[in-house]
């Protein structure tokens, strides 16, 4: 391993067992400097175990992990000052203000000239700088956590499920901060079970399921190679419509709202379906065509949903 490694993170055949339970099973990947790498998977897939091994919090059962060219099991003291961590379920001292918290962490890293105000502005907490941690909302707390992770101007930033448990608006606010980091060219290692998050932020996505990486590529590539189709949704159809679409050889799915969802290979198929509906005088109130997203990729690869009610992209946009 060279002193100034080309890759920020190199993981080879990593394995972690807790007693009889294998949390992470023989995974390998590399993260280039300056990229945003997302480890995407459902709860319990081994995301946090993996990230905590790289952060030097946990020790691997076997395998090699190098961070900035250093062995994470042997060079913790040299690694720690060069990384920033937002742990899963981040929390801080209840009665300490935003500014004081950042000052405290900057002292832990012995950063005499940390730009506390700059960090506060970066995560949009300027008007909450003097508020105690306990008075902040969930999204603001996470943003403080991100600022703390940046206090030592780290070369690699780890964000373990930065938006879990946040409402959609707070999640978007956190994403804005993360997009800012991406623009700055920081190496970011992100774990998430939100496919939108991975799709929006990551240069590379590794899909992890039951302790194994089952696919890894740029989000667009992953979708192209695993889900080459369109999803047509017809809303509030009448009874005829389901039959019409079925007769055409498609496999429509339906839900409680009398919507039907059809997978089609090309836009031409959509025209055919609409024409057939018109001919049969079948009615519907609205329609929507989407490209599949990582959710469908994940579903295809594993046969399991990322999280409850995830199928179909939830229409958050």
- Determine the Cα–Cα distance for residues 155 and 151; give it in Å rounded to an integer: 11
Find the shortest distance in angstroms from Cβ 270 to other proteins: 48
Q: How far apart (Å, rounded) are the C-alpha atoms in residues 49 and 27? A: 12
User: 143: which 2 tokens?
Assistant: 């943003």
For the segment 51-70, give every residue that binds other proteins (CB under 8 A): 52-53, 55-59
The smaller minimum CB distance to other proteins, of residues 148 and 227, is found at 148
When the beta carbons of 63 and 254 are compared against other proteins, the nearer one is 63
Residue from the set 22, 25, 132, 254 that interacts with other proteins by CB under 8 A: 132
Give the range of 47-55, 210-218, 288-296, 307-315 binding other proteins by CB under 8 A: 47-55
Residue closest to 228 by CA, chosen among 270, 273, 265 = 265
Among 93, 165, 225, 289, binds other proteins (CB under 8 A): 93
For residues 170 and 117, what is the distance between their CA atoms, to the nearest angstrom? 22
Among 72, 85, 123, 222, the residue binding other proteins under the rule CB under 8 A is 85
- CA-nearest of 288, 285, 306, 286 to 296 is 306
Question: CB of residue 192 vs other proteins: minimum separation in angstroms?
Answer: 18
Torsion of CA 251, 253, 259, 264, to 10 degrees: -40
Q: Select the residue interacting with other proteins from 43, 62, 91, 126 (CB under 8 A).
A: 91
Q: What is the 3-class SS of 266-315, one letter each residue?
A: CHHHHHHHHHHHHHCCCCCCEEEEECCCHHHHHHHHHCCCCCCCCCCCCC
Query: In the complex, what is the shortest distance from the CB of residue 187 to other proteins, in angstroms, rounded to a whole number?
Result: 16
For other proteins, which is the closer residue by CB, 19 or 315? Answer: 19
What are the residues binding other proteins (CB under 8 A)?
52-53, 55-59, 77, 80-81, 83, 85, 87-96, 100, 103-105, 107-110, 132, 148
């Amino acid at each position: 391993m060279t002193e100034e490694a080309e890759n920020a993170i190199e993981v080879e055949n990593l394995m972690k067992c807790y007693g009889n339970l294998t949390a992470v099973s023989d995974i390998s990947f590399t993260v280039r400097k300056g990229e945003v790498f997302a480890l995407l998977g459902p709860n319990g897939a081994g995301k946090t175990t993996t990230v905590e091994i790289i952060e030097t919090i946990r020790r691997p059962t076997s395998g090699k992990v190098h961070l900035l060219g250093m062995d994470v099991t042997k060079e913790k003291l040299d690694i720690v000052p060069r990384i920033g961590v937002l742990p899963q379920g981040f929390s801080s001292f209840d009665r300490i203000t935003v500014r004081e918290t950042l000052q405290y962490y900057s002292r832990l890293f012995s950063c005499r000239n940390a730009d506390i105000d700059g960090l506060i502005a970066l995560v949009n907490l300027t008007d909450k700088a003097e508020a105690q941690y306990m008075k902040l909302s969930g999204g603001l707390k996470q943003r403080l956590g991100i600022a703390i992770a940046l206090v030592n101007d780290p070369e690699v930033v780890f964000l373990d499920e930065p938006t879990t448990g946040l409402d959609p608006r707070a999640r978007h606010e956190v994403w804005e901060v993360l997009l800012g980091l991406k623009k700055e060219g920081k190496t970011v290692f992100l774990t998430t079970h939100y496919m939108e998050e991975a799709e929006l932020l990551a240069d590379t996505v590794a899909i992890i399921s039951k302790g194994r990486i089952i696919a890894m590529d740029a989000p667009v590539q992953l979708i192209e190679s695993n889900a080459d189709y369109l999803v047509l949704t017809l809303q509030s159809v009448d009874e005829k419509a389901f039959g019409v679409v079925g007769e055409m050889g498609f496999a429509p799915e339906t839900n409680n709202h009398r919507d039907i969802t059809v997978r089609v290979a090309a836009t031409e198929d959509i025209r055919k379906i609409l024409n057939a509906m018109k001919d049969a005088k079948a009615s519907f109130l609205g329609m929507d065509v989407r490209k599949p997203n990582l959710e469908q990729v994940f579903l295809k690869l594993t046969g399991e949903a990322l999280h409850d009610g995830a199928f179909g992209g939830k229409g958050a946009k």
